[in-house]
Structure 1
């Protein structure tokens, strides 16, 4: 008997019916998927007055880590701008620094934020802590160049979707434990947080069900962890196993009810509250994995993006020497 699952939002169900979905993942399928490019950045920037700069940070092993810096064009501001440090999704095995970048571009438009997007090395070619360390090194580069980029170092937001959300959580934990750099907030969009696959939602979305299935998730994690999957996995890699969630910046978590990451994301927000931190959690009824990235004009997606941006507006408008405001967590 197949597991009972929450219903999809009716509009999303219709849209998904026309979308060819891959429900399994292996080395051969991954190679095929990697041949499909993301939307060209020039198309995403069309109609926007944006200055684009391509730079690179250097990993400790000498590898160059590409970064795209996107700034509102022609601005000579008397005060530095907030920064969104963006980490893309793709199960940690695919995607690039332009994946889902329309999400932070909305914040460039609304807040005048500088967007810095990092292209970390992917599994299985890279593994273990390499991916999160790449993202951390890119963040250090961003902070070191804050003056020339016109960034306010007190208003840096680390954000990401799916695998990028999990890496954003890992980077934030690294920054806390290493004492630098200061992060004003983290935005975790349907984040990939737990390699163990023990939640109810993980089991519900097995057998080819969903945009990102349990089986695809297992492949992604095995690509990153290899033989260490059953051993001592660092919380920086799989944030759900972190021993301590105290001292994190104010956090936004959102996820759909109809997806594999639902329960681990709710648990992560709960862990932050239990440690005395602030997190705002939105669980969108009928939302599939990545619904607002796949279908940004669907009604549920518009509402999710607006709610997320309104929260970020409150965070970015808070005095830098005052506690960042949050509202009580809500479910939908």
Structure 2
């Protein structure tokens, strides 16, 4: 049986439309510059109405020592009063794609629905900038956010970190850096179907080969570009971390038809074994980023309801 047959019928509709327009999916475009342009063009075709409840402000902040400055986008609830919770947001894209603008709608949604100050970071991408450039950019952004809590208007004792896919892997890696470098303190982390294992040896990695969204071949290619020919450490591939103690409480979700399923379940189990309070959800019939491609589907609505509820509870 093809794994595609296990996909929830409602969320499968836009995936079939994607594959009809682009046989083989995004990874069928071999040139990375052209692939990025193709993805950006498809995302720009999705109309997202402005949200009057959220203001946005782009800023340039110091990057890692000796490296270029970093751009961040600050999202603020318009009618908020008092110190807000804060969420540091890291976009996805397999370490090779994606942007702040491409996940503007998601960051806006989270800001609006959690009444939190959100800072989204524009980190450098591979293969032009392999590890550790992306995670160091993320860490620099987190440090800046925490240091400027008073000016930004959020409570540094209620600071969470969120990211999906590559952003999920970078969420965990940045939390590891914060732990190992003595801060900033994080109250919560939400790595969504995180990309964390460079070995590609799990059962789900072998299974997901024909979905059209982040299949095995594309994952192997992305990891090769991200590592740049060097071995992975725990800040590149968090499954390699030997000690997970001291990380913030976590929420992880992943679909049953997602290549990252098994590495994410195993990591959640290791977090629990290390004494890290961890909430894990595995969604039957969901493929990688299904809730983004089929935002109006019942499955997608359930997924988002769980995430937003968890963020509100954690940051209350």
User: Where does residue 69 of structure 2 map in the other structure?
Assistant: 64
Do the aligned residues in 2 keep the contact of 1:88 with 1:98 (CA within 8 Å)?
no
Q: Give the C-alpha shift of residue 48 in structure 1.
A: 2.1
Normalising to structure 1: TM-score of the pair?
0.87
Are 2:79 and 1:80 equivalent residues in the alignment? no
Q: Distance in 1 between matches of 2:268 and 2:5?
A: 21
Question: Partner of 2:261 in structure 1?
Answer: 262
3-state DSSP of counterpart to 1:286: strand
What is aligned with 1:221?
223
CA offsets, 1:289-326, max 9 Å, x none? 01112211111000000011111121112xxxxxxxxx
Partners of 1:4 and 1:95 in 2: CA distance: 26
Deviation at 1:273, TM superposition (A): 0.7
1:201 counterpart SS class: helix
CA contact (8 A) 1:165 1:188 kept: yes
What secondary structure does 1:156 align onto?
Answer: strand
Find the aligned partners of 1:82 and 1:199 in 2 and give their Cα distance. Answer: 37
1:14 aligns with 2:13: yes
Please tell me whether the aligned partners of residues 3 and 257 of structure 2 are also in contact (alpha carbons under 8 angstroms).
no
Runs of 4+ in 1 over 3 A off after TM superposition: 2-6, 20-29
CA distances 1:24-66 after superposition (whole Å, capped 9, x unpaired)? 73884322122243756xx646132322211122221230110
| RMSD after superposition | 2.1
CA distance in 1, matches of 2:142, 2:290: 27
Range moving further from structure 2, 66-75 or 115-124: 66-75
Distance 1:250 1:289 in 2: 23
Decide which structure has greater helix share. 2
Aligned-partner SS, 2:113: helix
Instruction: Figure out how many residues of one structure are paired with residues of the other and give that number.
Output: 309
Question: Retained in 1: the 8 A contact 2:15–2:212?
Answer: no
> Is the Cα contact below 8 Å between 1:210 and 1:259 reproduced in 2?
no
Secondary structure of 2:285's aligned partner: coil
* Change in 2 beyond 3 A, CA 1:301/1:240: same
Question: For 1:55, which of 31, 34, 59 is the aligned residue?
Answer: 59
Q: Equivalent residues in 2 for 1:164-203 (5 A)?
A: 164-203=167-206
Please say if 1:144 is aligned against 2:143. no
Deviation per CA, 1:76-124: give whole Å up to 9, x if none: x2x3101111100111001111233323322221222111000000000
